[in-house]
Amino acid sequence: MRLHIFIPLDNRPYYMVNNTRNVHTPSIRRLTRYLRFLRAAKTRGVTVVSCSRIAESFNLSPVLVRRDLSFAGVLAAPKQGYRVNELIEDIEQSLGWDHKTHALLVGAGNLGSAIVKYNGFREQGLNIAGIFDSDPNLHGTLINGHKVFSFEKIVEYVKGLKSEYGISPDVGIITVPADSAQEVADKLIEVGVRAIWNYAPARLSLPENIVCESVSLCESFAILTHQLQMQDSGATFKGHEFEFSLDPNSTIC
């Protein structure tokens, strides 16, 4: 069934937000954590769980968990808690983890190898459909059972994938150095991926319709060092009282 509905955006009812699955990023991040928790609970034989229990184990407010779950499309839950099995399925579905996601990985260095070897991704539906590198020394070597191919042959390889297996990869994973990232991205889009998962510390210019998610380890490192910096500096926070050092040349007083 397919509907066209016209609603004033500013006064959109709650369930509509649900139905359009307009989930925001912080919610998605948390949903993956709930999923991990729920899968562990399932193996322990737990069949029903309350949002307070989930919230507790992540130091979150129960309301936030409820909201996240409702964003994920978990409606009509019984009033004595959520059923673990259903919840797992609903979250998986809302994340797009209920079906295979075929990906091409370019850059067979340590980072690329780590991604290929990590079983966690496979459990979330990631299928590495091809690995490529420009280094001839790597061509033909195996990573977790997958052969590494020449990056130059990617077009032809993907044609083969489509004709022989009916697979057209949706995701391109970039684990090459920053200076070749754009070039790789362009080629990946050329062979038809709709999304780029970028591990290179580079800003990519991509067509509007291409989804891009970047993992920036440097940004993460910055958050870490900045927090250490905060601890080191005299700046302390006690109620309303500040204690801090001033540069002697400072004009602020």
Partner DNA sequence: TAGATTGTTAATCGATTAACAATC
Question: 176, 178, 183, 171: which is closest to 213 by C-alpha?
Answer: 171
Residue closer to its own copies (CB basis): 20 or 85: 20
Q: What is the token pair recorded at 184? A: 């790789």
Near its own copies by CB under 8 A, which window of 46-54, 149-157, 160-168, 235-243? 235-243
Computed on alpha carbons and rounded to an integer, the radius of gyration of the chain in Å comes to 23
Q: How far is CA 219 from CA 26, 202, 215, in A?
A: 17, 12, 9
61, 85, 127, 220: which one binds its own copies (CB under 8 A): 220
* Amino acid (1-letter code) at residue 141: T
| CB nearer its own copies, residue 48 or residue 204 | 204
Give which of DNA, its own copies, none residue 113 binds (C-beta under 5 to 8 Å, depending on kind).
Answer: its own copies
DSSP class of residue 11? G
Instruction: Enter the tokens of residue 233.
Output: 């500096």
Closest approach, Cβ 15 to DNA, in A, equals 5
Q: What does 166 interact with, of DNA, its own copies, none (CB < 5 to 8 A by kind)?
A: none
Query: Could you give the CA distance from residue 87 to residue 105 in angstroms, rounded to a whole number?
Result: 31
Neighbouring residues of 190: CB distance < 8 A, sequence distance ≥ 6: 155
Single-letter amino acid, residue 86: E
- The region of 45-53, 127-135, 151-159, 245-253 touching its own copies under the rule CB under 8 A is 245-253
Q: Interface with its own copies includes 163 (CB under 8 A)?
A: no
Residues 106-125 that bind its own copies (CB under 8 A): 109-111, 113-115, 117-118, 120-121, 124-125
In the complex, what is the shortest distance from the CB of residue 241 to its own copies, in angstroms, rounded to a whole number? 5
Q: Which is nearer to DNA, 54 or 174 (CB)?
A: 54
The listed partner (its own copies, DNA, none) that binds 206, CB under 5 to 8 Å by sort, is none
Q: Give the residues lining the site for DNA (CB under 7 A).
A: 13-15, 24-27, 50-52, 60-64, 66-67, 69-70, 74-82
Edge to edge, the sheet with strand 171-174 lists: 142-143, 146-150, 126-133, 101-106, 171-174, 195-198, 211-214
Matching residue, tokens 């991205």:
185
From its own copies, DNA, none, which one binds at residue 192 (CB under 5 to 8 Å depending on kind)? none
Q: Is 192 in the site for its own copies (CB under 8 A)?
A: no
Q: Does 58 bind its own copies (CB under 8 A)?
A: yes
Residue 129: in which H helix or E strand, if any?
strand 126-133
Task: Give me 162's structure tokens.
Answer: 């489509």
Q: Which two tokens stand for residue 109?
A: 């260095």
Closer to its own copies by Cβ: residue 165 or 221 = 221
For residue 104, the 8-state DSSP code is E
142 binds, among its own copies, DNA, none (CB under 5 to 8 A by kind): none
# residues contacting its own copies (CB under 8 A): 87
CA distance 8 to 10: 6
